Amino acid sequence: MVRLLGNVNNCVTFDENEKQYCVSCSYGNESSSAAKFSLHFEDLLSRLRETFNSGTTKELAWRQKQLSRLRRAMVDFQGDIMEAMEADLGRPKAEILVAEYAAVIAELDMATSQLPNWSRPERVAQPLMQQPGQSAVHRVPKGVVLIISPWNYPINLSLVPVISALAAGNCVVVK
């Protein structure tokens, strides 16, 4: 599950239980924005931990589905992404397409194709004293990951780590 925090009242969601990319996350009439953010973040973190603790993120099919949904969102919102980047950073569309958009799509495609290989146990040499046993490295997800992105290449430098974290089976919060 990926949640990309926007402002205090909104977040972009790629949650398999929700039917749309954008949802509104309002929390009553708290007086300060800090209180709203605190409630929002605590709820978000507990939901992500609950998802991770359920064990669903360990499944290869879940990881592939998350990556394919992220790719679909990138394709669906390509125009919006390019317009926003052009308006906010003043970059030409060709640079946005190559440095931001195409790099993320290429990373998604590579991660999706390599995911079965990455999730297989890797056999390693068995120490002599433990012969005739077998040893292997099993890669397991760690939990909930916070990714803090810089401003200069916001799409590339935030979503490439998201792709890696999802491929590893973690839940992600991006700031």
| 36: confidence class by pLDDT, cuts 50, 70, 90 | low
Q: How many CB atoms lie within 10 A of CB 162?
A: 25
pTM: 0.75
CA distances 49 to 43, 96, 123, 145, 173, Å, are: 10, 34, 30, 10, 11
Q: What pLDDT is recorded for position 30?
A: 41
Q: What is the pLDDT of residues 119-142, one digit of tens each?
A: 899 999 988 888 888 899 988 899
Q: Identify the residue with better confidence: 44 or 169.
A: 169
On the question of a cis peptide bond just before residue 132, with omega within 30 degrees of 0, the verdict is yes
| 38: confidence class by pLDDT, cuts 50, 70, 90 | low
Give the mean pLDDT of 148-160.
Answer: 89
Q: What is the pLDDT of residues 1-15, one digit of tens each?
A: 444 444 333 344 444
**Dist CA 169 CA 175 (whole Å):** 19
Give the mean pLDDT of 87-103.
Answer: 88
Mean per-residue pLDDT of the chain = 79
| pLDDT over 50 (residue 172) | yes
CB 142 within 8 A of CB 58: no
Kindly report the backbone phi and psi dihedral angles of residue 10, in degrees, each rounded to the nearest multiple of 5, phi listed first: -135, 150
Q: What percent of the chain has pLDDT over 70?
A: 78
